Amino acid sequence: MRSDQFKTGIGKAPHRSLLKASGLSDEEIRRPIIGIANSANEIVPGHIHLDTIVEAVKKGILAAGGTPLEFTTIGVCDGLAMNHIGMKYSLGSRELIADSIEIMAMAQPFDGLVIVPNCDKIVPGMIIAAARLNIPAIMISGGPMLPGKYVGESVGLDNVFEAVGKAAKGDMTEEQLYSLECSACPGVGSCAGLYTANSMNCLSEILGISLPYNGSIPAIHADRIRLAKKAGAQIMELVDKQIKPRDLITEDSIYNALAVDMAIGGSSNTALHIPAISHYAECPITLKDINQVAEKVPHLCSLAPGGTDYIVDLHRAGGIPSVVNELMKHGLIRENCMTVTGKTIGENCKNSPIKDTSVIRTFEKPVHKDGGLAVLTGNIAPDGAIVKKGAVDPSMLKHSGPAKVFHSEEDAVDAIMTGKIVKGDVVVILYEGPKGGPGMREMLTPTATIAGMGLDKEVALITDGRFSGATKGASIGHISPEAASRGPVAAVRTGDIIEIDIDNNSLNVKLSDEEIQKRVAELPEYVSPIKRGYMNRYSKLVSSADKGAVFEL
């Protein structure tokens, strides 16, 4: 066993003495030792209940003959970090989470690992750690929040952000805003729509690193506790059979994850995290690879923020196994990928019919004939940009308009709130990329404010930063190379005409190549706005968004 490195033989008597100081018996020390990475804390609603999940995991491990040992990781709530300096630290936390788990599992060599995340960067951060370590591992998340109810309608966090714009415009009173604020997030779990956290929790099933329905069982359902017990028991089988993350996360399972992502219309942030996971799992892809899948796979689910259904509705309709089963019928899933069940993805999903075709559409009657995400390229995005196509109004799939250029999210939001953005404009937010931000802030406030002011069918936003999974409208992010790396997007100035054609995957500024090159050559050297600490170091190490904003060292 891997844990023999710190517990077996005469020379490890001091180590066993320390383990006994923690209350472990000789029998517990002899058993396989399973590390549990728990990201519970008291500030993130998706994580506040994870101690309950971990207790269930421990019961499963103990019942199957293992010894569970829990440790903690950090977790940032993107909603709470939104629209202030805290959001610069969110994406950077992904690598820090992976680093901390790697350190714990190397310093104390566990035989297996259970990762327990729930929200935006914590899920990919923990999967990255599992891929790097490549020891038997399984993931069990905390599950999605239920939607709230406001004036008889289901609502989520995105509705509150949009209501800020409505209140600013005078279309909603402060009392109505307060009532919505108190109603939208009714309890624990990752925010209720198909935002980044739930997108990644769903895709973990396809990557093979979690059990079926991990992405959709609501946080408050007893089934979530039973699934956690099952995950605890299953890690013991993975240890016994030495099934490891890189046996599961392969070129084929990455393809499957992209296919399901297109079918459910996942967050645009998956276009950051899937390439990152593939990089650390040593089967790299880039942003441009996504279109090859998007062109084949139809968009089957209309989930919030682009639609009216929520994750609880997806679960009721059959969950991710039913989506996979529908795609398998049409040869769009590589069925032989192994999963933590010990069975292939095809075996896991073959008997999973759709239970409600109003939530999960059939292949013949999709929401859209192609995928929910689209990668755009052009003279300001030669390495690609991403848009959540499934959440764009058809009237904005093709748009041309004058740029209004801002060098920070704050300046853009101020212009939107004070009425300086008008019908037809293209808001351009630069120097918010992985290096430039630093940290590639998630910008829900400008997109939600525009939607709340009724401009989402008239105004587009483009940025080298990124948008929240709760974003809707013609919001195009991840422009690569970013402005801070002297990418051509840095040449755009207020008044330049931006041409967007989402159906034809193009994004251009109406300038000659010579003019773009001239303007870029005149740019001053980039200087990080954060002068010290973690994010200053991050800005020096991080790759471009098209590669997943990874550390390439």
Q: Which residues are catalytic?
A: 468
Angle between helices 196-207 and 319-328 (to 10 degrees): 60
Give the DSSP per-residue string, 255-304: HHHHHHHHHHT--TTHHHHHHHHHHHTT----GGGHHHHHTTS-B-B-BT
126 touches 139 (CB < 8 A):
yes
Peptide bond into 438 cis (omega under 30): yes
The residues near 174 (Cβ < 8 Å, ≥ 6 apart) are 167
Cis upstream peptide for 382 (omega within 30°): no
3-state secondary structure 62-121: HHCCCEEEEEECCCCCHHHHCCCHHHHHHHHHHHHHHHHHHHHHHHCCCCEEEEECCCCC
Please state, in angstroms and as integers, the Cα–Cα distance from residue 218 to each residue in 87, 118, 194, 200, 213, following that order. 27, 12, 13, 15, 10
Between CA 481 and CA 489 the distance in angstroms is 8
Q: Are 404 and 426 in contact (CB under 8 A)?
A: yes
In angstroms, the CA 420 to CA 480 distance is 27
Entry field: residues in the chain = 553
| Count of CB atoms situated within 10 Å of the CB of 342 | 13
